[in-house]
Amino acid sequence: MPPRAVQKPNSAPVNLAKKGPNRKAAPKQPIPPAERLRRLFTSLCAQIEGGHFANALKTCDKILRIEPNDEDARKTKLFLLLQTEQYDNALTLIETHQAQAPHDFEKSYSLYRKHHESEAKAILEDIKAKDSDHRGVLHLEAQLNYREGAYQAAFDLYNQLLDTAEPNSEEQSDILTNLQASQQHLEFLSKGFLHALDQLPSNVSANLESNPPPVVATTAIAVAAPAEAQRPTEPAAKKVRKSRVPAGVIPGVTPAPDPERWLKKSERSTFGQGKRRKGAGGGATQGSSSLDTGSGPTISNTPSKSSGGKGRKKK
């Protein structure tokens, strides 16, 4: 009888899922919202300190998507919008959350930068009724007066701010600059224009009162703008780098190379020009005629080489 096959004991099952390159990694646990906010605020502080305002705005949006009612993130976003001169977006953000946290001064400043002086001044009056010593309001009111030509009011406000400014500070430097500009305008309006008239030539100052008023510069610019827009712009001449110029070639002086130099001679446009074809009437077949200025045309009976009868001899 044949021997029986010996059965091997069953080995323990092997977990193949944990081995090999195709194994799946365990899913990562989601980061808690509190930890995400902490990381985003850390990045936001670093971006603002480094002056990366565009990236800081994106970080603020990420924070507000996690926590829409975060007041710190909203104030920071408004500050960044004003720093990057995005006044329309700043006004939209203020109007959206006006009931929760009014930002009247920031709204007035945005309107001032958008040249809505009347609306900005009305908001400033409401703020001054509540807080008359608001330094930001005094600064903005002085700038509004300066823009509207009320130089005396701007001069008085800048003097008031200068008395309470910290010495050797950036604010004091800005106040002194604006104060000097206001003072120069006041001096010109009071007596400076008289000295300017004395410096004019006599032929101009004599007819100054009878001459028509000058044309406003903005009107001339507005009329000339369409003509400038219709004028075709000429492309700027491209400067050739010296490293690409061959030796002995002067740009603008040396003639340009033949553009057909890479083609065969038979394929060039100048092929066959200036060459005489063989047998194309080089002269008379049996003789040549020459023009004599004195006696008229004479005919010579010298036979040409192209005449027939090759090998004949004259008898």
Q: Is 121:101 a contact under the CB 8 Å cutoff?
A: no
- Which of residues 193 and 65 earns the better pLDDT score? 65
pLDDT tens, position by position, 181-204? 999 999 888 877 767 766 777 777
Residue where the block lists tokens 């006599």? 202
Rounded Cα gap, residues 166 and 135, in angstroms: 13
pLDDT band at residue 70, thresholds of 50, 70 and 90? very high
Bridge partners, residue 296, by sequence: 292
Neighbours of 25 (CB within 10 A): 5
Residue where the block lists tokens 């027939």? 308
Opening angle at CA 314, ends 310 and 315, nearest 5: 140
Q: Which pLDDT belongs to residue 242?
A: 62
Q: Is 80:72 a contact under the CB 8 Å cutoff?
A: no
Judged against a pLDDT cut of 90, whether residue 112 lies above it is answered with yes
Phi, psi of 207 (to 5 degrees): -100, 15
Judged against a pLDDT cut of 50, whether residue 169 lies above it is answered with yes
| pTM, full prediction | 0.55
Q: Is 53 exposed, middle or buried (0-12, 13-18, 19+ CB in 10 A)?
A: middle
For CATH 1.25.40.10, list the domain ranges present in the chain: 32-102, 104-199
For domain 32-102, the CATH superfamily is Tetratricopeptide repeat domain (1.25.40.10)
Q: Which pLDDT belongs to residue 291?
A: 42
Looking at CATH, the fold of the domain delimited by 104-199 is given as: 1.25.40
Which tokens sit at 135? 């330094």
Rounded Cα gap, residues 262 and 268, in angstroms: 9
Torsion 285-291-297-298 (CA) sign: negative
Q: Which pLDDT belongs to residue 269?
A: 82
3-state secondary structure of 300: strand
- Which of residues 5 and 274 earns the better pLDDT score? 274
Q: Which pLDDT belongs to residue 30?
A: 86
pLDDT tens, position by position, 120-137? 999 999 998 888 788 899
Question: Which of 90, 96, 133, 84 shows the shortest CA–CA distance to 109?
Answer: 90
Judged against a pLDDT cut of 50, whether residue 244 lies above it is answered with yes
3-state secondary structure of 200: coil
